[in-house]
Amino acid sequence: MECSIIIPALDEAGRIGRQVAACGALRPTPEVIVVDGGSGDETRLRAARAGARVVASPKRGRAPQMNAGARAAGGDVLLFLHADVNLSQAAFGALQKALGDPDLLGGAFRRRFDSPSLLLRLGCRLSDARGRRLRVYLGDQALFVRREVFDRLGGFREILLFEDVEFSRRLALLGRTRLIEEPIVASGRRFEKEGAFRRLSRNLWLTALYLAGADPDRLAQRYYPGYYPSGGEGAPAPAETPSSPVPAAGSVSAVGGESPLRGSR
């Protein structure tokens, strides 16, 4: 069973090469696809040099980028991994073992942060409980799904926020999902920059509003002004202007067209 790891990226030149190399070293070897949302740095170049297939998304945003990556992927299982989340061999092996259950449609992993923050530890414990009891998962928990199930669901709904929550809820309604106990490790960089309490509080508040029925696009435009457009869809990716040619180590392609209808936060 082949696994395709799909990494949505935007201006991640500082870490994308390491991430691609780490994914390529996993066994059994997965297909690694980096979907760029119009980076202004060398994200595409470095991803290709590290061995990834690079896809240029027609729109910026995690949902359209992940959908574009899924269209390009050849694996039987799709794993959506953020550029700043470490997937260990132990976690990847646990996934392979879990997929031996033919009734398992998809799921995600327990998440830990590379930070000593007690608040972030608490957040992870709450996330574990939510995943086990409600089967609702976030994007930085590395969502995975069988390809035929992803296609049956029509991919991610292209909303500006909470495409991960929305997808995992639909997935759980379709059949069995699972939280993999072997954890992945996410970067705490955004929490450290903004303040763990402030960011966690905002995330919880936004999640409560979304689950209460608030429009996710309006929430994004209100709480992330200047980043998301006002039109309700992911911003078009800027025209490609690479400063140097992408080497043949990876391939670069543009995946256009519309999938089910979101930005890389």
pTM for the predicted model, two decimal places:
0.84
Please give the pLDDT value at position 189: 73
Nearest-angstrom CA–CA distance, 112 and 115: 8
Each residue's pLDDT tens digit, 198-229: 888 888 888 889 888 999 998 888 877 666 65
pLDDT band of residue 167 (cuts 50, 70, 90) is: very high
Please give the pLDDT value at position 263: 36
Stated as kind and residue range, the H or E segment containing 9 is strand 3-9
Instruction: Determine which of 14-18, 24-28, 173-177, 184-188 has the lowest per-residue pLDDT on average.
Output: 184-188
Nearest-angstrom CA–CA distance, 107 and 139: 11
Kindly give, in sequence order, each residue whose CB lies less than 8 Å from that of residue 33, ignoring residues fewer than 6 positions away: 4, 5, 6, 7, 52, 53, 54, 55, 69, 72, 73
Each residue's pLDDT tens digit, 171-201: 999 999 999 999 999 988 777 777 878 888 8
Please give the pLDDT value at position 116: 84
Please state the rounded mean pLDDT for residues 33-53: 97
CA–CA distances in Å: residue 194 to residues 14, 169, 188, 202: 20, 29, 10, 11
Q: For the domain 3-188+235-254, what is the CATH code?
A: 3.90.550.10
Please give the pLDDT value at position 228: 60
Please give the pLDDT value at position 211: 85
Please give the pLDDT value at position 238: 44
For the chain, the domains span: 3-188+235-254
3-class state of residue 147 by DSSP: helix
Tokens 């954890």, residue located = 183
Please state the rounded mean pLDDT for residues 12-32: 97
Averaged confidence pLDDT in the chain: 86
- Say if residue 165's pLDDT is above 50: yes
Kindly give, in sequence order, each residue whose CB lies less than 8 Å from that of residue 225, ignoring residues fewer than 6 positions away: none
Question: Which of the pair, 40 or 264, is modelled with greater confidence?
Answer: 40
Closest CA to 82 of 44, 138, 152: 138
Please give the pLDDT value at position 261: 27
Please give the pLDDT value at position 235: 52
